[in-house]
Every structure is written in structure tokens, then in C-alpha cells.
Chains A and B, each alone.
Chain A
Amino acid sequence: MVSLLLATAAMGMLLSILLGSRAPKAWFAGVLVGAGTAFGAAVLTLVSGEVWRLHSGVRVGGEFIHLQLDALSALFLALLGVIGSLGAWYGREYWSEAAHPRSAGAGRAWWSVLVLCLGLVLVAANGLHFLMAWELFTLAAYFLVTLSRHSRVVRDAGWLYLVASHVAVLSLFAFFGMLAARTGGWELGPMRDRVELAPLFWFALVGFGLKAGMFPLHVWLPSAHANAPSHVSAMLSGMTLKIGIYGLVRFTGWLPVPESAGWVVAGLGLVSAVLGVAFALGQHDLKRLLAYHSVENIGIILIGLGFALVAVAQGNAAWGRLALAGGLLHVWNHGLFKSLLFFAAGSVLHATGTREMSRLGGLWRVMPWTASLFALGAAAISGLPPLNGFVSEWLVFLGLLEAALAHRAAAWGAVMAAILLGLTGALALACFVKVCGVVFLGAPRSAAAAHAHESGPSMRGPMLVLGAACLGIGLAPVVFWPAVSRAVDVWNPSWAGAESPTGLPALGMFHVGLLGVAAVLAVWLWRRVQGGVVTRALTWDCGYVLPTTAMQYTAGSFARIINEWFAWILRPVHHEERSMGSFPARASFSEHTPETVLEYALEPAARMVMQVSRTVRRLQHGRVQAYLLYLLVGLGALAALVLLGNGT
């Protein structure tokens, strides 16, 4: 059954690649069939827990094809199926043939390539094929990011993405190459007892961590996610980052890891979580802000994985299972609500033509669907009950609390992690109140925002599906637990058979009750208000009678307090021109948050390398006489070395 479904999926995707540029409808059907059947195969595997394998006699690149789908890959494949099909649906209207005649066809074809290759990475059980699929999906994503390449910003973002991705690929080449050299073949599989393979973990951490966007390797992420078309942003953020996580989880499960690996991963996770949200608070570009929240959420997932590794190192402590389950469930949850948020942000961009939050405002009036669905996603990403983000954060938290109570060596780390994770949640909430308030509430700050329009049904549909999924996982976490639990058992078989956390059914019930009562009471209060005397009046502004939209709180002013706390790393740049003198001219104020790691660390380093190379390059100028002189000097030096060496 799984074979049949996966074969159909591959056929559907291949067909859609071929048809992509010319026949939009056939392409969409192909993607739907492909992603849908892949989703089906993943669900079957997650329900049954059986491993599907395919050994083929066909060689690709000199290696026999070996594919396998276990619960861990199925977890990611299910997410790919969801985002792959919904993104295609959304893209039909968002990047339509009519609006983008030059790039729409290419966009469709590359979308299919991307989805197919991501799927291949997930099922590949051969290092060489894994690398091939990896490189192909990286390239496909590059072409998708740069779909509107007439803009210089987009080209720059694409270039940065391409370079960073290839640093990751380089590291993975080293990882798989050395793995193949030490094991004598490219075949992948569980090798937990080969302790000598442990140091290879560091190559995997750099390669996969770069792809996952973990701090400080996230430099490529904000610009790529902000400048890509929104359905591509959703795919990049919702799925391709998770492929980095998949790699880390997969190979920490199959291979032994160094003693300190767990602490390093957890530490990087904490740094990513706190600084990711801090940078997000400093952003004024809607999509760039969402991109930084991906760094934060990847951090939460890494905290789960890191503490699971620590637990394994400390004798398979049971709390590690909770932490990893929380992390893996967060993979799904982040994929769902971040895609939802990017779709909604795309809908705003589509309607207003700007991502600049200070030009938006009051959009709920013209875009009620987008506004409500964005609010749902915002509540989910802030980890608020009764939505899915809370369930996974709750599991991670529970793992950390149990670790702290266990009073073992890991307890102090767990205490710190729990406090910082709590801090992250509160910061994320602050950030999303800011976004919702500035973009969707209040009065429009520009004509574009005032004359926006709601997006059409094929952009609203995917958002509704994602919103329902966020709500579903929140209301019935028990239904989704077995799937996550199976994936955790694949990662560490010695945890198999453990029970589900006792609070999970109660939590689900509580969520259902909370949602029901809140909905009833909200409607009741609204009725009560409507039933009485309702006077519409201007917002109270201290008796001021002529408020203007410019008087509203902006994104910058809202985040000011927290930005000041993080000024040591955010390094915000202010340009202020006060109105002075008796007849003041115009005043202005602008604020910009630079990419600290990129602008203060990587670019200076790159400049230094360039400078050194430029100096060295002077040696090579094309004058043969000088080259002869080099030879002579070199020979002389060698001769002197040999003579002196003999002399001593």
C-alpha cells in the first residue's frame, strides 16, 4: 500500500514538473495527487509504525537505490504533503499567470522540483543519493526565492542563500564522505555502537544547523524568507528549515554522538530562541519579522532535541522522551502556523503592495478573513492555549521540569532552559501583539492600506485549512501523540513502550472547554453590547479633537522598551532630525535594525579575506621574467634548506 502511494506520489510530482510551465491546471492536479498520496503514505506509516523499504537493482551514480520510510521520516513527509499542496493552491492566485507572466511557469515547475527533492531527501537511505537530492532541492529553492529577479534586493537575497546553502552542502559532503570512508559504503542506517563515528556529528551540526537557520548560522534566512514570494516563504520556513532538523534528528538517532553534543545543541537552541525573538522585535518589515520567528521556533525544537541527547547520555532518562516529543510536535506545529502566518502576510502584501508595517494598519475592516486567521496564527505561535503551539511547548517544558526535579547533573541546565523558554514565550507574545495591533488594528496609515482588498478563495482556502489544523492539534493532542511517540521510538528504540504523558488528555479536554466557553461568552457579550445603547465616537485621545492616523503607536515605539534591553546585540541605528529654531523645518525619525551577525562579524571577516587575497594577488601579474625569478628564488630557498638540513 505504502509502495503504491509513494509511486503515485513520485509520478504525480514528475508529471507536474513536466507540465508545470505550460498547463497550470494539470500541474495543480499533479501536485495535489503527488503531495496528497505522499501525505497518505506518511499517515499510514505513522499509524502502523511499520518501516517501508525499497532495495532496487537500479544504480544511480554507481550506487543501488535504497529508500526507506519509517515513522521519523513519515513525520516530516506528512508536513511536506500538507505544505506542498496548500502552497501550490495558494500560489495559483498569489503568483498567477496574469500577474507574473514571465515567472509563473518557472515558479510552478521549480515548486514541483522542490517538493519532489524534499521528499527524496526524506526517504533516501543512501548517503550519495541523500546529497544529490539535497543539492537539487537547494537549487530549486534558489530559483523560487529569485522568481522576481528584476529586483536587486531579491537577487542579493538569493545570492546569500545560495552561498550559505553551499557552505552547508560542503559540510555535509565532509560528513557523508567521511562516513562512507569509515563504514566502507554509502548505505545509511542505525550504527549506534560504532563509537569512532561520533566526531562526525560536528560536521552534521554545521551543515544541518545552517539549513535549519540556527543562530548564529541564520544569516541567510531573514533576507531569503522576506524576499521570496510568500508561498515560497511558507515552504522555506515551514518545511525546508525542518529538513535541517530532520537531518540532525535522523543522524543523532542513527550514529553515536560526542558526550557534549546534547549540551551544545540545547545551548544553541536557547540562543536561537531568545535572540531570534529579540531580533524579530526589532524588525519593521512584516515578512522579515516572521523570518526571525523561524529562528526562535527552530531554537525551541533544538532545545527539545538537545535535552533528549542529554537524557540519552545520562542513561536514557524518561524526561528526554518528553522533550524530544515536544520538539518533534513543534516541527509540525511550526510548519502549520508559520505557513499560515506567511500566507496571511502574503495576502497583506498582495493587497497593499508593502511589507512595511508602518504603512499598514486597520486592515481588519477590508480583510476580515486574513486578519482573523493571522490572529489565530499569532496566538498559536505565541504558545497560547488552546492552540497547537502551546501543546508542543508544554511537552518541552514538562521535559525540562522533570529534568530539573530529577536532581541530576542535567538539572541546572534544565532550570536555566525552562526560565529562558518562558522568557521566549513572553517575548513572542509581545512581538505578535505588536504585529497584530500595528498591521490589522487601528486606522490605516496609508492610502494603500485603506484601499486594500480581501484575497480570493484560493488564497483563503489554504489559510483556513492551516488554521483548522492549528486548532485541531490544540484541541485533540491525544490523537496526534501516537504519531510523535512512534517517531521518538525510532530515534531511540530503548524508550519504546513508554506511556503518554498523563496530563495530555486532560489538557485536550481543558482546551475544548476553554474554546467553547470563550466563544459562547464572547458572542453573549457582543449581543449584550448590541442590545443596549451603542454610541460610536472617536477614540479618546485626552480630549484632542482631531486625531490623525500618524498619532498611532508604531511598531518601533511598541517594541522600544524591549529593544532597549537587547540593544547590546540588536545595535539599532537611529536617524533623528529634530525640528529646531523659530521656524522649524520638517523633522524626521527613522530606525533600522542591522543584521548584527552578518554586518558586524561575517562581512568584516570577508573583507579581511578579500584584502589579504588582493595583496597576495600582486604576485601574479603575467610578467614571465618575474615568474622565472620566483622559480629561481624558490629553488635557491630549497637548496639552502637542503644544504642547511644536511649541515646539522
Chain B
Amino acid sequence: MISFLGFLLRLAFWLLVAPLLPGIINKVKAWVAGRRGPPTLQLYYDLAKLWRKGVVLSTLASPGFVAGPAVAWVALISAAMLMPLGAAGGALSFRGDVLLLIYLLALARFCTAWAAMETGSAFEGMGAAREVSYAVLSEAALFAAVLALGIHTGSVSLVTMLSPMAGAGALLLAAGLFTVLLAENCRVPFDDPNTHLELTMIHEVMVLDHSGPPLAVILHGASVKLLLFTLLLVQAVLPMGGLSSAGAAGALAAGVLGVTVAVGLVESLMARLAFRRVPLLLTTAFLFCLFALLMAWKGGA
């Protein structure tokens, strides 16, 4: 009973807190630009509005066009369930759960790209092609990061991998994971969520034809993914081993807020990269993670 209640609380946390992050990012961007900006809770209003709206479906779309976002959302939420939350751990933990998490993200990617290809639009094909191609590099970086954490802690399950403080490679790992976070969540400098030119988009162009409830599901899933990567980054590098559970929760919240503000600052101060530079930056992220792996190796030898 207690565990079921814990599960519900955890689910509520992911469902309710995740849409806050894009609001904070937008607030930071507005603040840097000297605007007042949309309210922090704007995404909640948007989701509520979209959920009540009707849908425009492409004449070419099959039921998979709606099922794709639903399955992708479930994959992201289940990945989130595996992610430990400070002292509370994950909803389910076993040896090798970190691989399941990575492949759940892949499942979400498959479904989103599938739904994009449904429309037969060249723009959406373009977005899907970019998404799955760049994901190859960011997944390699993610694997290197996971191996670094695993070698550092001698464990292959997320709970024990993330809880102890990382060693000297923390800085490298932070740089690598932050870059992966930006790429996987389609933020500047990889993608510009505010752009209005279809040719230059990655994620936004994949969902051009979605509207109404399916779009709400996609937007919510994207915010869950952002929170997931933020928590991964914070727990991978922030030393919280010695803190009490309340202190750890506070540190976690502060860390998430810090990363979110950093994303907003990057977005305000940088321009989007040209597409041919994207693989270079992702390779750099991979190298960061690989060097973190080297550090972990030397530390543990």
C-alpha cells in the first residue's frame, strides 16, 4: 500500500512538475532580453487549452499518427519512473536498468519520428531524419557517460550509480551531459524552439501537423524529457551523499533550477549552430564523457 502510494506520488511529481521547466527557461530568456515574458505557468495553460481543442488530421495520417505520441509519452514517463529522485530512489531498480532507460528514450524517438513520417511532408521527413541521425551521436555520448558513472561507482543500476558524488571527472561529465541535454531536448545551439522557419527546425518541425490533445501529449512528454535529463545531470555530478534527505531534496531542487536557468542563459546568449557543426559539437560532448570515463578509470584503478 505504502509503495503504491509512493508510486502515485512519484507519478504526480513527474506529471505536475515537469511543465514548470520550460516556463522557467522562458522567464530567464525574457529577463535577459528585458521583456516581461509569458507567465511561468504558461505551459500548463497551453496544455489545458490544447486538451480541449479539436484536431486537424492530415489526409494521409493513419491511426499511428495519434498512437505514436501516446506511446512516446508512455515511454518517457516509464523512463522517468526508473530515474531515482534523490533519497527516494527509483520506482523500480535492477541491475542494468540504466540500459532500459536509454532504450526507452529510443522508443520515444522511434514513435515521434514514425508519427512525423505519417504526414508525407518533406519538412517533417527532414526533421525526423535530423532527429534520428543526431541521436546516434548523443546516444554514444550518453553511453560513455553511463560507463563513466558505472566504472566510478562499480555499479550498473541507476540508484547506486547516481547517488555517490562523482570524482575529478565531474566537471567533464557535467559539460558532456549538459551538451547532450541541450541536443536531446532541442534547445539552442542545436535547435531553436522559437524558430518560425521550418527548414531549420528539428523537433518542432516533426510535430508541425499535430494539434489538439496529441500535441498536448507531445509537449508534456518533451517537458518530462527535459526534467529527466536535468535530474540525470544534477545527480551525476552534485555531491549529495552526506546530506540529510531533506537537505538532499533541497540540493536537488536547487540543482534542477540551476541547470534550467543555465539552459535559459545559453539560449539567450548563443545563436543556433549551422547544421554541419552539430555533429562536431556532439562529438565534443562524446569526448567530454569519454575523458570523464578515463578519469573514473584512473580514480578507480
Q: How many angstroms between the C-alpha atoms of A429 and B54 in the bound complex?
A: 32
Q: How many angstroms between the C-alpha atoms of A506 and B209 in the bound complex?
A: 37
Q: In the complex, are the beta carbons of B60 and A557 less than 8 A apart?
A: no
Q: Which residues of A contact B75 (CB under 8 A)?
A: 385, 514, 518
Q: Which residues of B contact A552 (CB under 8 A)?
A: 120-122, 125
Q: For residue A443, which residue of chain B has the nearest CB?
A: B120
Q: In the complex, are the beta carbons of B150 and A539 less than 8 A apart?
A: no
Q: In the complex, are the beta carbons of B209 and A528 less than 8 A apart?
A: no
B167 to chain A, nearest CB (A): 15
A48 to chain B, nearest CB (A): 29
B220 to chain A, nearest CB (A): 12
Q: Is A437 an interface residue (CB 8 A)?
A: yes
Q: How many angstroms between the C-alpha atoms of A551 and B133 in the bound complex?
A: 21
Interface 1/0s, chain A 542-584, versus B by CB < 8 A?
1000010101110001111110010000000000000000000
Interface 1/0s, chain A 511-554, versus B by CB < 8 A?
00110011001101110110011111111111000010101110
Name the interface residues of A403-462: CB closer than 8 Å to any CB of B.
Answer: 404-405, 407, 411, 415, 418-419, 422-423, 425-427, 429-430, 432-434, 436-438, 441-443
Q: Which residues of A contact B67 (CB under 8 A)?
A: 522, 525-526
Q: Is B20 an interface residue (CB 8 A)?
A: no
Known: A379-B110, A510-B78, A552-B125. A534 touches B279 (CB 8 A): no
Q: In the complex, are the beta carbons of A529 and B55 less than 8 A apart?
A: yes
Name the interface residues of B120-157: CB closer than 8 Å to any CB of A.
Answer: 120-126, 128-130, 132-136, 139-140, 142-144, 147, 150-151, 154-157
Q: Which residues of A contact B97 (CB under 8 A)?
A: 503, 506
Q: In the complex, are the beta carbons of B94 and A506 less than 8 A apart?
A: yes
Q: A437-B117, A540-B121 are in contact. List 5 more A-B contacts (CB 8 A).
A: A385-B75, A405-B150, A426-B106, A537-B57, A559-B129
Q: Is A254 an interface residue (CB 8 A)?
A: no
Contact of A553 among B104, B126, B133, B300 (CB under 8 A): B126
B191 to chain A, nearest CB (A): 14
Known: A433-B110, A442-B118, A540-B208. A407 touches B301 (CB 8 A): yes
Known: A501-B95, A540-B209, A541-B121. A562 touches B136 (CB 8 A): yes
Q: Which residues of B contact A430 (CB under 8 A)?
A: 129, 132-133, 135-136
Name the interface residues of A294-340: CB closer than 8 Å to any CB of B.
Answer: none
Q: Is B21 an interface residue (CB 8 A)?
A: no
A387 to chain B, nearest CB (A): 9
Interface 1/0s, chain B 205-229, versus A by CB < 8 A?
0001100111001000000000000
Q: In the complex, are the beta carbons of A537 and B99 less than 8 A apart?
A: no
Q: For residue A516, which residue of chain B has the nearest CB?
A: B74
* A-B residue pairs, 6 tightest by C-beta: A553-B125, A437-B117, A442-B120, A533-B54, A503-B94, A430-B132
Q: In the complex, are the beta carbons of A437 and B74 less than 8 A apart?
A: no
Q: Which residues of A contact B133 (CB under 8 A)?
A: 430, 561-562
Q: In the complex, are the beta carbons of A433 and B113 less than 8 A apart?
A: yes
Q: In the complex, are the beta carbons of B143 and A422 less than 8 A apart?
A: yes
Q: Which residues of A contact B102 (CB under 8 A)?
A: 422
Q: Is B71 an interface residue (CB 8 A)?
A: yes
Q: Is A215 an interface residue (CB 8 A)?
A: no
Q: In the complex, are the beta carbons of A501 and B62 less than 8 A apart?
A: no
Known: A405-B154, A442-B118, A553-B129. A534 touches B103 (CB 8 A): no
Q: Is A222 an interface residue (CB 8 A)?
A: no
Q: Is the interface of A mostly helix, strand, loop or mixed?
A: helix
Q: For residue A506, which residue of chain B has the nearest CB?
A: B94
Q: In the complex, are the beta carbons of A558 and B129 less than 8 A apart?
A: yes
Q: Is A107 an interface residue (CB 8 A)?
A: no
Known: A383-B103, A401-B96, A557-B129. A532 touches B55 (CB 8 A): yes
A455 to chain B, nearest CB (A): 18
Q: Is A70 an interface residue (CB 8 A)?
A: no
Q: In the complex, are the beta carbons of A362 and B132 less than 8 A apart?
A: no
Q: Which residues of A contact B57 (CB under 8 A)?
A: 529, 534-537
Interface 1/0s, chain B 84-121, versus A by CB < 8 A?
00000000101111011011101101100110111111
Q: Which residues of B contact A433 (CB under 8 A)?
A: 110, 113-114, 117, 128, 132
Q: How many angstroms between the C-alpha atoms of A518 and B62 in the bound complex?
A: 17
Q: Is A398 an interface residue (CB 8 A)?
A: yes
Contact of B120 among A405, A427, A549, A562 (CB under 8 A): A549
Chain A: interface size category: 35 or more
Q: Which residues of A contact B116 (CB under 8 A)?
A: 437
Interface 1/0s, chain A 483-519, versus B by CB < 8 A?
0000000000000000001110011001001100110
Known: A425-B103, A510-B100, A534-B55. A525 touches B70 (CB 8 A): yes
A274 to chain B, nearest CB (A): 11
Contact of A514 among B55, B74, B121, B151 (CB under 8 A): B74
B119 to chain A, nearest CB (A): 4
Q: Is B66 an interface residue (CB 8 A)?
A: yes
Q: Which residues of A contact B136 (CB under 8 A)?
A: 423, 426-427, 430, 562
Q: Is B58 an interface residue (CB 8 A)?
A: yes
Q: Which residues of B contact A375 (CB under 8 A)?
A: 64, 114
Contact of A534 among B54, B106, B119 (CB under 8 A): B54
Q: How many angstroms between the C-alpha atoms of A384 and B68 in the bound complex?
A: 14
Known: A522-B67, A529-B214. A365 touches B54 (CB 8 A): no
Q: Is A394 an interface residue (CB 8 A)?
A: yes
Q: For residue B134, which residue of chain A has the nearest CB?
A: A561
Determine which residue in A404, A418, A503, A551 has the highest number of CB atoms from chain B within 10 A of its CB, and name it.
A503
B268 to chain A, nearest CB (A): 28
Q: Which residues of A contact B63 (CB under 8 A)?
A: 526
Q: How many angstroms between the C-alpha atoms of A385 and B100 in the bound complex?
A: 8
Q: Is A165 an interface residue (CB 8 A)?
A: no
Q: For residue B68, which residue of chain A has the nearest CB?
A: A522
A18 to chain B, nearest CB (A): 47
Q: How many angstroms between the C-alpha atoms of A437 and B139 in the bound complex?
A: 22
A408 to chain B, nearest CB (A): 11
Q: Is A247 an interface residue (CB 8 A)?
A: no
Q: For residue B53, which residue of chain A has the nearest CB?
A: A532
Q: In the complex, are the beta carbons of B213 and A390 less than 8 A apart?
A: no
Q: Is A397 an interface residue (CB 8 A)?
A: yes
- Listed by A's residue number, 28 A-B pairs whose Cβ atoms lie within 8 Å are A365-B62, A375-B114, A385-B100, A404-B150, A415-B147, A419-B140, A419-B147, A426-B136, A427-B136, A433-B128, A437-B125, A441-B117, A442-B117, A501-B95, A503-B97, A503-B157, A506-B92, A506-B97, A525-B70, A529-B57, A535-B54, A537-B58, A539-B59, A539-B209, A540-B121, A540-B209, A541-B123, A562-B136
Q: Is A283 an interface residue (CB 8 A)?
A: no
Name the interface residues of A335-379: CB closer than 8 Å to any CB of B.
Answer: 361-362, 364-365, 371, 375, 379
Q: How many angstroms between the C-alpha atoms of A504 and B299 in the bound complex?
A: 31
Name the interface residues of B237-265: CB closer than 8 Å to any CB of A.
Answer: none
Q: For residue A406, which residue of chain B has the nearest CB?
A: B154
